[in-house]
Amino acid sequence: MNEAALSRRPAVNQPATTGRTAFTILLAISFCHLLNDMMQSLLPALYPMIKTSYALSFGQIGILTFTFQITASLLQPIIGSYTDRSPRPYSLAAGMAFTLVGLLLLAFAGSYGLLLLAAALIGTGSSVFHPESSRVARMASGGQHGLAQSVFQVGGNVGSAAGPLLAAFIVLPHGQSSVAWFSLTAMLGMFVLFNVGHWYKSHGMARLGPRVTDAPAPVASKKVAGAIAVLLALIFSKYFYLASLSSYYTFYLINRFHVSVQNAQLHLFVFLAAVAFGTIIGGPLGDRIGRKYIIWASILGVLPFSLLLPHATLFWTSVLTVPIGVILASAFPAIVVYAQELLPGRTGTVAGLFFGFAFGMGGIGAAVLGKLADAFGINAVYEVCAFLPLIGLLAALLPDVEHRRARALPA
């Protein structure tokens, strides 16, 4: 990699990111995202075993997810805003340490209260990891912001998809205590993130260069506020629906089609793999054809499939979750980069706000849907959630910032 390109500072009127795309750093941060989300996904993947072992209701399962998601969501915007003002290159490795402690506690928790504490610690690790790693992705993007976000985010999706497989073939056969073995992956993540932090300190901050908050905003401030509100509504739609699949899909398959727990985990893996694929294509497509169009198509385009899902056979249920995962997941990289262009110079704040809100909506969705499942049955969850993608119609209200983005790309 050309060190001169890495350390070259932008001129005042040029974009905040310069130099070539640092694929080594992007792959490193994506790999750590894989490890981070793989470890986090062990918690919902363990739900069938935990529910039986601790005699939990669906509502208690929902509260467990809520605890994890809410600790992740509340801290992320605060951390993102703080590091915009005072970057902390080595905070990434520190965040992974919280996940390490949470995993060990999860492995040996003897009560529901300790499970909640373990979930909170894992969520705290996520709250530190996501805003700063999203900033590193932008530093390393070389102007290809959508591509960089997709590469970064797909690591998390692959990790989330791997969690059910690991639970099915390692944790379920060997018991809850086998989760402790995954602390080794947390240590590996800390080592890689320490080296990423060194690059961040030595070259990454120079790539961001002077802050661009004095640059003209792409749209008027009132329209910016409205656009952010629309984007958050779309995140609500996306993550409330994803909560129905990530937290309750295995229960749905077991209850409706009477499959085994291991078989249900494999079906969940198919869905999560589709989510990973959708994430990797969403960012580059947004760079090429426009982020607004990707956002519009990815949220609303899932509606026909979500409406069919509650009425499908086992085979078609598995088939339908593939386009649902691909189409729905393609939105998030485009949403994050679109918001960063609406609010230049606030990379960490935007990343923290949107990752945090996504986690929060996932947690609230899991808790609400758990109560719905207790009251009306697990099938009702999918009948109600089928209509959530209609919120995608709000994408029509988003302003067009693509002309500004094109001018901001390096020559």
The pLDDT tens digits along the chain (411 residues) read 443 443 333 333 334 445 677 889 999 999 999 999 888 878 877 888 888 888 888 888 888 878 887 787 777 888 888 877 777 788 888 889 999 999 999 888 888 999 999 999 998 898 888 888 888 888 888 878 888 888 888 888 788 778 777 877 888 788 888 888 888 999 999 999 999 988 988 876 666 554 444 344 456 677 888 889 999 888 888 888 887 887 789 889 999 999 998 898 889 888 988 888 888 888 888 888 888 888 888 777 899 999 999 999 999 999 999 999 999 888 888 888 888 888 887 887 888 888 778 767 776 787 788 888 888 988 888 898 899 888 888 888 888 766 554 444 443
Report CA Rg, the chain: 20
Q: What pTM, to 2 d.p., does this model score?
A: 0.68
Amino acid symbol at 10: P
Enumerate the H helices of 330-389 as residue ranges: 331-342, 347-376, 378-385
Contact 373, 380 (CB under 8 A): yes
**pLDDT reported for residue 157:** 76
Between CA 109 and CA 395 the distance in angstroms is 44
All structural domains of the chain, each given as residue ranges with its CATH number in brackets, are 19-207+215-408 (1.20.1250.20)
Between CA 173 and CA 178 the distance in angstroms is 9
Tokens 């500004």, residue? Answer: 404
The C-alpha angle 401, 403, 407, rounded to 5 degrees, equals 120
Give the total residue count for the chain: 411
In order of 43, 237, 277, the CA distances from 241 in angstroms are 19, 6, 18
Find, among 355, 349, 311, the residue nearest to 333 by Cα.
Answer: 355
The C-alpha angle 260, 266, 269, rounded to 5 degrees, equals 145
**pLDDT reported for residue 275:** 85
Structure tokens at 304: 């026909």
Between CA 17 and CA 32 the distance in angstroms is 22
Structure tokens at 98: 């919280």
